[in-house]
A = this chain, B = another copy of it.
Amino acid sequence: MSAGWFRRRFLAGGPLPAPRPPGPRASPVPYRRPRFLRGSGSSPGAADASRRSDARPVRSPARGRTLPWNAGYAEIINAEKSEFNEDQAACGKLCIRRYEFGPEEDREWLTLCPEEFLMGHYWALFDGHGGPAAAILAANTLHSCLRRQLEAVVEGMVAAQPPMHLSGRCVCPSDPQFVEEKGIKAEDLVIGALEGAFQECDEVIGRELEASGQVGGCTALVAVSLQGKLYVANAGDSRAILVRRDEIRPLSSEFTPETERQRIQQLAFVYPELLADEFTRLEFPRRLKGDDLGQKVLFRDHHMSGWSYKCVEKSDLKYPLIHGHGRQARLLGTLAVSRGLGDHQLRVLDTNIQLKPFLLSVPQVTVLDVDQLDLQEEDVVVMATDGLWDVLSNEQVAWLVRSFLPGNREDPHRFSELAQMLIHSTQGKDDNLTGEGQVSYDDVSVFVIPLNSQSQGGSGY
């Protein structure tokens, strides 16, 4: 049992703003028949989460006290690629206890003393592939992994400087100096905890999928607000951006076969057996064919950022390890992302070639020092799965944010409506915005996180 608690907004209901009908520009496109889900409660995995011991409801049964809510606002749209939504989301408060505070009864007492905890917020988007199973498991699991990881180092996080020894014992008088020289700060422990949590969650998903005979994987984009900083951890092709009045700042990078080409080619160079003589690790502008034999064609290998020419040999005619461009780029002809959770069983069709060795579950973490920003009322972080970013650029999203928020200051539901409006903008209704009235045929999920409320220590909207 845990004295920390976690709330999945989509499961627990609670004091959320009531849904309002979307405005004209936000109306769903009939021919897409999108199902607007307030969360992912319709998926069995998500429903299961309410029975997990670490997913506490918002109303604490022990004390009957409703904790304040100030997390972001999310909308999810199901493209109906699968019966259950492959996009899954989770968010809630993170309450990190200290380990040494005695038995369970004492811990419970500590819920009355919030200053004994590190309090934070957690938002997560998971974009599944090969079915929703991995995304549902991730939505139900990752926050617990993160809490465990954070609790394992919380003593270091609350110290003025993380001590060399977690116990605080000083084996060597120069230890603080060594830590100082390495520039190790509390935020490095949070980054380490996020990295550890993603890996731990990946292992859990692997075990649970194998046990239940299910398959699949998912990307993971997580934001954590803690100690005045916002941590954004990303493994996959979702994206988070900061939108302010005069600034658009990317808070994540996408990890795809194209962006991680060199890492993936390098692995195939070290372990050629992973390609089982079926693929070539070299990159060419297109797949080569018989007519190219003996010609000098453009190529690049694992050590190259630039391009060169090579004389085509027969082995170059194999299917490329990474093939296609942009949205079409695939790893081993199969997968469009190079980091994420799950996929332990995934193999190239009709072969025994595994994808997993090429995938990383470890996220890249960026840190936004929220306390150092001169925050304005409308400063928000927008997190969304690739369904949004395929259709809208960072600039277009920022334009929508800036167009919508200032005119709706009195509306208590404005962040929720903004999230909904962003999703509607991917449904091809607004030619002016998306240029060619582009439509996203993917699941789309969006969080809008108002930063001003984060910096105000938890008093929500």
Contact = CB atoms under 8 A, between A and B. Distances in A.
A306 B162 CA distance: 12
Interface string A286-316: 1001011001111010011111110000000
B365 A309 contact: no
A272 interface: no
Given A162-B298, A165-B295, A295-B167, A307 B184 contact: yes
B286 A195 contact: no
B286 A192 contact: no
A325 B167 contact: no
Contact of A184 (B187, B285, B291): B285
A64 to B, nearest CB: 37
A285 B164 contact: yes
A167 B182 CA distance: 53
A306 B195 contact: yes
Contacts of A175: 285-286
A362 interface: yes
Interface string A153-190: 10010000010111101011011001101101001111
A392 interface: no
Contact of A309 (B166, B304, B307): B166
Nearest to A307: B188
A191 interface: yes
A211 interface: no
Interface of A is mostly: mixed
Contacts of A326: 181
Interface residues on A, range: 35 or more
Contacts of A184: 285, 298, 307
A306 B194 contact: yes
Q: Among A182, A194, A360, find the residue whose CB has the most chain B CB atoms closer than 10 A.
A: A182
B167 A296 contact: yes
Nearest to A324: B181
A324 to B, nearest CB: 9
A181 B325 contact: yes
Given A171-B292, A295-B171, A309-B156, A285 B179 contact: yes
A74 B339 CA distance: 46
A199 interface: yes
Given A192-B304, A307-B189, A286 B164 contact: yes
A340 interface: no
B306 A365 contact: yes
A91 interface: no
Interface in A312-337: 325-326
Interface string A132-169: 00000000000000000100110010000010111101
27 contacts: A153-B308, A156-B298, A156-B309, A162-B307, A164-B297, A164-B298, A165-B295, A166-B295, A166-B309, A167-B295, A167-B296, A169-B295, A175-B285, A178-B285, A179-B298, A181-B285, A181-B325, A181-B326, A184-B298, A190-B306, A191-B306, A192-B308, A193-B306, A195-B303, A195-B306, A305-B364, A306-B365
